[in-house]
Amino acid sequence: MSDTLNTPAKSWQARIGEATDAIAQTFVESMSYDWRLYKVDVAGSIAHATMLEKVGLITGADREAIFAGLKEIEAEIDRDGPKWAGFKPELEDIHMCVESALTERIGEPGRKLHTGRSRNDQVATDLVLWIHNVSYALGREQFDVIIRAFVDLAERNRDVVMPSFTHLQRAQPISAGAEALTWASTFSNALQRFYAPWMTQTVEWPLGSGAIAGTSLPIDRELSLWWMNRETPGMVGHDEIEVSRSSIESTASRDLACDFLYACAMTAQWLSRWAEQWIIYMTTEFGFIKIADRYTTSSSMMPQKRNPDMLELIRGRCGNVYGDLFALMTILKGLPIGYNRDLQEDKRIVFRAYDTVSQCLTMAAAIVNSASYDKARIEPTLDRGFLDATSLAEYLVTAGIPFRTAHHIVGTLVARCEKEGKHALSQLSVEAFNEVIAASKTDKRVTEDVFTCLGAANVVKRYQSAGAAGGKPFEDQLAAWKERLGV
């Protein structure tokens, strides 16, 4: 015989002849994680109650009692968090816990609150509001901090010259500050993905859609949205959200949650790529970056080790966020239109992805704020890898030699250096340069002036194109970032 629980009746209990099995009750509850929706749940309920009063479905006294009771409940959860006494697993979710506690406090008006709505549209509304709030909070908090950290790093290391890499092979010399600004740019772009649904498409207000088909009661869904905008202007905006066109779609859709998870996944990707870059830079073989010891660990066996564990965990947790995106997409792919209980899993997934990204952004910003490029290690290596080869080719272009010809000339000069045991183009004489140039069947020649384009530091100073990784373009970028951030 199954074990059943003698618990308060659920909102739907009248139709079901048996009490919920204990195992089933534990299996279906979501209160243990969706409790964090309480603020948006209270806000949505107040907006709904205000609308119900305006259309005459409840009295002004009812609305005042509902408002006071909900704000009292909100204050208690603010204080007690998940330990709030009103969180009862047998009531399944945050929505029923709040409604049950409200009815216990204010009696009959509490039983009127659910008029014209369903948990289906209520949970969809809560998710819209929660995603809006955390998307903008990420921008004000974690993203702002990490972007500022990279801009500060660029300022501190503006005079450090380092190699850039393509195919993980040395490419052209750059300002280390320019690489730091690159990461500021990537995270600024990542932030825009969280804002994109609110700025570039219509986000729909589900409240009042009911279970699937709407209601025959004379509710005014525009009014509940208007109230939400008026009373909680930081929560939604008139230009960002409008009443949904289809009650069926608005209770079944989780498109906004997918957009949010995609933004989380893209942020995790950039966090992982940055972490990988710095893990490489921290190796003895590179030695380009130093971070504070407090963000490293050592080995239980090898006492010399200084391991970048925090960076490695950031890199590893990217996979979890990817999994969250694919998890929700996989759940949605097999669902018929209309609400299905599978959708309860959306919050578990969305919360997990948000928590992971938020924590990784906070950790990353702390690491960046502690970091510096190791100029003493980097500079002695700058004459390795022929970093100035492209600069020499471009110098030859300014002398009137076609780029493809100049490219061939410099390739030949590099090969000659390697054959003669030289590691830098600047070790060749002007006569050697002109000998190779003459072999290319051009009448152009170079003078001692050619050495002004050689050497990593000289190359970095010569950059002119917008967005370039050195010279005036880099200084302009840095100034623009500082102005934008109010530094």
Paired residues of 165 in beta bridges: 170
HEC sequence for the chain: CCCECCCCCCCCHHHCCCCCEHHHHHHHCCHHHHHHHHHHHHHHHHHHHHHHHHCCCCCHHHHHHHHHHHHHHHHHHHHHHHHCCCCCHHHCCHHHHHHHHHHHHHCHHHHHCCCCCCHHHHHHHHHHHHHHHHHHHHHHHHHHHHHHHHHHHHHHCCCCEEEEEECCEEEEEEEHHHHHHHHHHHHHHHHHHHHHHHHHCCEEECCCCCCCCCCCCCCCHHHHHHHHHHHCCCCCCCCCEEECCCHHHHHHCCHHHHHHHHHHHHHHHHHHHHHHHHHHHCCCCCCCEECCHHHCECCCCCCCCCECHHHHHHHHHHHHHHHHHHHHHHHHHCCCCCCCHHHHHHHHHHHHHHHHHHHHHHHHHHHHHCCEECHHHHHHHCCCCCCCHHHHHHHHHHCCCCHHHHHHHHHHHHHHHHHCCCCCHHHCCHHHHHHHHHHCCCCCCCCHHHHHHCCHHHHHHHCCCCCCCCHHHHHHHHHHHHHHHCC
Q: Which residues belong to the active site? A: 167, 299
Residues 462, 453 contacting (CB under 8 angstroms):
yes
Residue 374: alpha-carbon gap to chain centroid = 29
Task: Extract the tokens encoding 197.
Answer: 């649904």
* Residues whose CB falls within 8 Å of the CB of residue 118, separated by 6 or more in sequence, listed in order: 209, 210, 211, 212, 251
Is the CA virtual torsion 181, 185, 186, 191 positive or negative? positive
Tally of CB atoms within 10 A around 79? 9
Paired residues of 289 in beta bridges: 373
> Rounded distance, CA 267 to CA 273, Å?
10
> Rounded distance, CA 160 to CA 176, Å?
5
